């Protein structure tokens, strides 16, 4: 491709809204342009990258025996209502009406559609196992689209679905897809970690996320350098010593030791306008770990008080699972005042008539501080059992720095990650409600056992840039680079330089090497800057040395190493460097 004949618009500065490096560089390098909030148009360079990622995914998926399909992006309201997700999925599901006032959803995912297809076509165990996949545009009405393609409202996704006769076969399929994902991300040149994850609105019992390690990642993950344990912080567990205490048995951990600290008399102190942990601890000159936060949650619409140490956070997903709740959310201010008798910021466990659930770390605290359920007042020297009773004591806090690995007791490492893939064991979540069944060897009708496997193509591109860039621009791995080689003519007015560049260009094309010729009539400096910005793996520079000494310069973008090669050895050197 000749740059003079194509659309390759680069920018010196990124738009102000671009906050992370991948968003900035994808705009500046001319990979994409914004159409509306969270909606982007891919330009030629960007689309070539997407197609290369797509081809890698397709090759690896086909190796597993999976078959490619293309499902409709539109799905009828009735199908989502049948699965129970029309309301549960929430406002992220884009809903539209046709001219007959019939409602449809624009697919954010396709569990319902694929299950509907299979329940109509698969009737016998002889048709199993079966894995179907598609590569398609998805839609999610993000409340706050940001970070370019990291959190967009329209994006490209590969989603696959496996159907098996039993859990054993699902396990085989799950392992096969897990390994396939590793192959895909390896080929795309990513440094990543597979972590245990929460299943979220997709459902199921077991799932793993594939996280690209990057400082700009939205997700926080923890992992053990010794034994390999890894999990999203929403799913992560931590080691706790097995010391019994006279409280309820902990479903997810062990209770701490009973404190020998002497209990002090309960006191009420005035804390005018002091609502949050920072304000209260500053006013009372104490530490966050001495304070207990009383958070009022609505758990399946019923108000419940959750007690957590001042320097800890509630693991909402963990709490939801422990309580087997369908819906969990923080209560609004009106509900908080109704339950506690005080405005937001002054809640405490003493005197509460609602159910109380305490984190196990709170259960071992003495002489703690909390709200007094009265505006502008807090209580000090609160003690569990003496001043209030906890209905349940559970491990409900999120993992924090300093916690130990639940498997080998090594200190856990924290990192940020960008989710690029997610695999789920769905079991019968969808086949049961949608009545997708098959006849087994004995003629008995049974629900299909399902798995679900997703990859974000745009996120692979963006995450790759987050990991592979420098102050000058993108550094593409050759596997997904828009082109493998860029030829740069130093002086377009020099006919000899132009002739040599044309000869090299044709020779590389003949060898099947993807090459971009920068034959634009621009200053050499501007072309060099664009070459680094776009990030093509190898840059061939045709200048005076090519004429006088028959030497052609090759620069490796990743290392910035420059090779001067005789023109007769150019093709073999290029092939060697690309490998």
Which domains are delineated in the chain?
Answer: 3-7+15-236+414-465 (3.30.930.10), 267-394 (3.90.960.10), 483-578 (3.40.50.800)
Asked if 188 and 56 count as a contact pair (C-beta separation under 8 A), the reply is yes
Average pLDDT over residues 64-87: 96
Pick left, alpha or beta for residue 373 (phi over 0 → left; psi -120 to 50 → alpha; otherwise beta).
left
DSSP state of 65: T
Residue closest to 429 by CA, chosen among 79, 129, 159, 115? 115
Quickly count: other Cβ atoms within 10 Å of residue 560's Cβ.
11
pLDDT of residue 324: 86
Q: ∠ CA(20), CA(22), CA(23), 5° rounding?
A: 70
Q: Could you give phi then psi for residue 320, rounded to 5 degrees?
A: -60, -40
Span 171-208, pLDDT tens digits:
999 999 999 999 999 999 999 999 987 655 545 567 89
pLDDT of residue 199: 57
Average pLDDT over residues 390-412: 92
Full-model pTM:
0.83
CA distance 540 to 500: 11
Axis-axis angle for helices 495-510, 570-578 (nearest 10): 50
Task: Please say if the pLDDT value at position 241 is more than 80.
Answer: no
Give percent of the chain above pLDDT 90. Answer: 81
194-228: burial string, b at 16+ Cβ within 10 Å, e else: bbbbbbeebbbebbbbbbbbbebbebbbbbbeeee
pLDDT of residue 198: 67
Q: Could you give phi then psi for residue 537, rounded to 5 degrees?
A: -55, -45
How far is CA 264 from its chain centroid?
47
Task: Please say if the pLDDT value at position 122 is more than 70.
Answer: yes
Task: Please say if the pLDDT value at position 537 is more than 60.
Answer: yes
404-428: burial string, b at 16+ Cβ within 10 Å, e else: bbbeeeeebeebebbbbbbbbbbbb
CA distance 152 to 170: 32
Alpha helices by DSSP H, listed for 29-165, are: 44-63, 77-83, 85-88, 111-121
Reported as a pLDDT band with limits 50, 70 and 90, residue 430 is: very high
- What 382-387 contacts at long range (C-beta under 8 Å, 24+ apart), as own/partner pairs, is 382/266, 382/292, 382/348, 382/349, 382/350, 383/263, 383/266, 384/358, 386/263, 387/266, 387/349, 387/350
Q: Where is average pLDDT lowest: 139-143, 198-202, 408-412, 414-418? A: 198-202
Give percent of the chain above pLDDT 70. Answer: 95
Q: What are the DSSP calls for 283-317, one per residue?
A: HHT--GGGBEEEEEEEETTEEEEEEEETT--B-HH
Q: Could you give phi then psi for residue 447, rounded to 5 degrees?
A: -75, 145
CA distance 92 to 501: 51
CA distance 369 to 280: 9
Reported as a pLDDT band with limits 50, 70 and 90, residue 259 is: low
Mean pLDDT of the chain: 92
pLDDT of residue 200: 57
CA distance 255 to 243: 6
Average pLDDT over residues 11-29: 94
Q: Kindly give, in sequence order, each residue whose CB lies less than 8 Å from that of residue 526, ignoring residues fewer than 6 positions away.
A: none
Q: Where is average pLDDT lowest: 152-156, 259-263, 414-418, 550-554? A: 259-263
Span 127-180, pLDDT tens digits:
999 999 999 999 999 988 988 999 899 999 999 999 999 999 999 999 999 999
Reported as a pLDDT band with limits 50, 70 and 90, residue 258 is: low
């Amino acid at each position: 491709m000749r740059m003079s004949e194509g659309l390759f618009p680069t920018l010196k500065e990124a738009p102000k809204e671009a906050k992370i490096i991948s968003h900035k560089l994808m705009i500046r390098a001319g990979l994409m342009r914004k159409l509306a909030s969270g909606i982007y148009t891919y330009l030629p360079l960007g689309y070539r990258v997407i197609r290369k990622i797509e081809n890698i995914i397709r090759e690896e998926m086909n190796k597993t025996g999976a078959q490619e399909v293309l499902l409709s992006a539109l799905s009828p309201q009735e199908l989502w209502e049948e699965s129970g997700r029309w309301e549960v999925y929430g406002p992220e599901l884009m809903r539209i009406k046709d001219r007959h006032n019939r409602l449809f959803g624009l697919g954010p995912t396709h569990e319902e559609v694929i299950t509907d297809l299979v329940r109509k076509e698969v009737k016998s165990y002889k048709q199993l196992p079966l894995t179907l996949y598609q590569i398609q545009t998805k839609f999610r009405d993000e409340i706050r689209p940001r970070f370019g393609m990291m959190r967009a409202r329209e994006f490209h996704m590969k989603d696959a679905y496996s159907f098996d006769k039993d859990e054993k076969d699902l396990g085989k399929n799950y392992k096969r897809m897990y390994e396939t994902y590793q192959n895909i991300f390896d080929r795309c040149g990513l440094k990543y970690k597979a972590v245990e994850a929460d299943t979220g609105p997709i459902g199921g019992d077991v799932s793993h996320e594939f996280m690209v390690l990057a400082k700009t990642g939205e997700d926080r993950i923890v992992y053990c350098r010794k034994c390999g344990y890894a999990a999203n912080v929403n799913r992560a567990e931590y080691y706790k010593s097995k010391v019994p205490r006279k409280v309820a048995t902990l479903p997810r951990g062990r209770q701490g030791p009973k404190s020998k600290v002497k209990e002090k008399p309960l006191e009420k102190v005035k804390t005018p306008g002091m609502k949050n942990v920072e304000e209260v601890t500053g006013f009372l000159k104490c530490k966050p770990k001495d304070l207990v936060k009383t958070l009022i949650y609505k758990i399946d619409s019923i108000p419940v008080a959750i007690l957590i140490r001042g320097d800890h956070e509630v693991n909402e997903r963990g709490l939801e699972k422990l309580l087997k709740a369908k819906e969990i959310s923080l209560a609004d201010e009106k509900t908080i005042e109704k339950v506690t008798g005080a405005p937001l910021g002054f809640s405490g466990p003493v005197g509460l008539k609602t159910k109380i659930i305490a984190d196990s770390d709170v259960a071992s605290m003495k002489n703690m501080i909390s709200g007094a359920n009265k505006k502008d007042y807090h209580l000090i020297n609160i003690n569990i059992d003496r001043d209030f009773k906890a209905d349940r004591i559970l491990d409900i806090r999120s993992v924090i720095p300093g916690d130990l690995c639940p498997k080998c007791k090594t200190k856990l490492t924290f990192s940020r990650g960008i989710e690029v893939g997610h695999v789920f064991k769905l079991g019968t979540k969808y086949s049961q409600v949608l009545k997708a069944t098959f006849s087994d060897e004995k003629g008995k009708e049974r629900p299909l056992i399902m798995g679900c496997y997703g990859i974000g193509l745009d996120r692979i591109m963006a995450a790759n840039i987050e990991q592979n860039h420098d102050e000058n621009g993108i550094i593409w791995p050759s596997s997904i680079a828009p082109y493998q080689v860029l030829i740069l003519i130093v002086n377009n007015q020099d006919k000899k330089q132009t002739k040599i560049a044309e000869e090299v260009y044709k020779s590389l094309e003949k060898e099947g090497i993807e090459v971009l010729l920068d034959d634009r009539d621009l200053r050499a400096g501007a072309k060099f800057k664009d070459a680094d910005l776009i990030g093509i793996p190898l840059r061939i520079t045709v200048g005076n040395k090519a004429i006088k000494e028959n030497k052609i310069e090759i620069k490796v973008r990743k290392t910035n190493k420059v090779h001067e090669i005789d023109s007769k050895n150019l093709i073999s050197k290029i092939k060697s460097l690309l490998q």
